[in-house]
């Protein structure tokens, strides 16, 4: 698109906010991007092309949306803040392939949304400069809804990006790493300096890239049980897996015997810490515990 000034510059962002008498709402995690180089890197990381339908969370005043619309077939963007609707109508008027959906992304019925908007899509990519206060629920909602999303390219707090992409045996590895990597391969694509935002956030940021797994790494007999087991294993990180299992399942002799049997069958040393277990090991243990009819203490 020629003849239009990019939204993502300090001057234009200030102009737009002034024109509408707006200031960024901290409570909605509003940190607007004012650097087109970063946006180009995000679009590149998403491998966005005319075949791509992009889902964006939180278009703000349209900085990233605009760069996505230049490359994508279609952009569907969820925005909660009604103050921004007239702004987006104005700033994105040169593009006819953008649909703004005024809603709280956490309240959207995602399967119904997919049926309505994604049925014909060749490939789907989720791209967002996320509102940091709800990074995890947004990602987990999309993953758990089972939408056919090929890739995700997401800006978030650097520390959360490290946790999501962490490997077993590292300090950052935890239930979030397992939860996300159960669905998709995760890598930190690049770090982002605070200076590209207006206003600047208090935390460091990074872009994470998630890619659909070619095959599911593990077969689970009970997904909910698996995720609960994983969370239980990290409740007290400094304790052994065995101690965390006793807290989760109870200390009765019969339970202990079954837990020991399950750990032996799964070939997992009870003295290990949860943070050393790979997803496949958690899966094996979960499947064995389910088969042995071992249930959590508090149901």
Site of interaction with ligand SAM (CB under 6 A):
28-33, 57-60, 63-64, 78-81, 104-106, 129, 131, 134
Task: Give the residue with the Cβ less far from ligand SAM, 67 or 287.
Answer: 67
SS3 of residue 83 by DSSP = helix
| Site of tokens 């101690």 | 243
10 Å Cβ neighbour count for 73? Answer: 16
Task: Give the residue with the Cβ less far from ligand SAM, 155 or 268.
Answer: 155
User: CB of 29: closest distance to ligand SAM in angstroms?
Assistant: 5
- In this structure, are residues 191 and 205 in contact, taking their beta carbons and an 8 Å threshold? yes
Mark 88-127 as b/e (b = at least 16 C-beta within 10 Å).
beebbeebebbebeeeebeebebeebbeebbeebebbbbb
Q: Which residue is nearest to ligand SAM (CB)?
A: 58
10 Å Cβ neighbour count for 159? Answer: 13
User: CB of 63: closest distance to ligand SAM in angstroms?
Assistant: 4
User: CB of 57: closest distance to ligand SAM in angstroms?
Assistant: 6
User: CB of 78: closest distance to ligand SAM in angstroms?
Assistant: 5
If you ran DSSP here, which 8-state letter would residue 107 be given? Answer: G
Task: Give the residue with the Cβ less far from ligand SAM, 52 or 129.
Answer: 129
Q: How far apart (Å, rounded) are the C-alpha atoms in residues 18 and 61?
A: 12
Name every residue whose Cβ is closer than 8 Å to that of residue 298 and which is 6 or more positions away in sequence: none
Task: Give the residue with the Cβ less far from ligand SAM, 81 or 150.
Answer: 81
User: CB of 12: closest distance to ligand SAM in angstroms?
Assistant: 12
Report the DSSP pairing between strands 98-102 and 74-79: parallel
Task: Give the residue with the Cβ less far from ligand SAM, 33 or 245.
Answer: 33
Task: Give the residue with the Cβ less far from ligand SAM, 134 or 292.
Answer: 134
Task: Give the residue with the Cβ less far from ligand SAM, 7 or 288.
Answer: 7
Torsion of CA 289, 295, 298, 299, to 10 degrees: 110
User: CB of 46: closest distance to ligand SAM in angstroms?
Assistant: 14
Task: Give the residue with the Cβ less far from ligand SAM, 16 or 263.
Answer: 16
User: CB of 296: closest distance to ligand SAM in angstroms?
Assistant: 31
Q: How far apart (Å, rounded) are the C-alpha atoms in residues 151 and 109?
A: 20
The string of DSSP letters for 15-37 reads HHHHHTT----GGGT--EE--HH
User: CB of 25: closest distance to ligand SAM in angstroms?
Assistant: 7
């Amino acid at each position: 698109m020629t003849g239009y000034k990019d939204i993502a510059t300090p001057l234009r962002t200030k102009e737009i906010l002034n024109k509408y008498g707006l200031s960024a709402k901290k409570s909605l995690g509003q940190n607007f991007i004012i650097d087109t180089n970063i946006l180009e890197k995000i679009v590149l990381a998403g491998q966005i092309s005319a075949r791509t339908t992009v889902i964006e969370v939180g278009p703000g005043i349209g900085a990233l949306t605009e760069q996505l619309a230049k490359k994508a077939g279609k952009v569907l963007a969820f925005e909660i803040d009604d103050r921004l609707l007239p702004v987006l109508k104005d700033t994105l008027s040169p593009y006819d392939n953008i649909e703004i959906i005024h809603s709280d992304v956490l309240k959207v019925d995602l399967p119904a949304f997919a049926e309505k908007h994604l049925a014909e899509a060749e490939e789907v990519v989720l791209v967002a400069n996320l509102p940091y206060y709800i990074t995890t629920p947004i990602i987990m909602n999309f993953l758990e809804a089972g939408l056919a999303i090929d890739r995700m390219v997401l800006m978030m707090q650097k520390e959360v990006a490290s946790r999501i992409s962490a490997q077993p045996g590292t300090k950052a590895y935890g239930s979030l790493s397992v939860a996300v990597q159960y669905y998709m391969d995760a890598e930190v694509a690049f770090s982002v300096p605070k200076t590209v935002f207006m206003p600047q956030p208090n935390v460091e940021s990074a872009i994470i890239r998630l890619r659909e797994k070619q095959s599911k790494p593990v077969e689970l007999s009970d997904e909910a049980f698996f995720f609960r087991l994983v969370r239980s294993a990290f409740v007290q990180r400094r304790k052994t897996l065995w101690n965390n299992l006793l807290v989760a399942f109870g200390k009765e002799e019969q339970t202990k015997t079954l837990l020991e049997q399950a750990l032996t069958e799964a070939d997992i040393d009870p003295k290990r810490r949860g943070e050393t277990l790979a997803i496949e090991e958690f899966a094996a243990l979960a499947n064995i515990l389910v088969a042995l009819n071992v249930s959590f203490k508090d149901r």
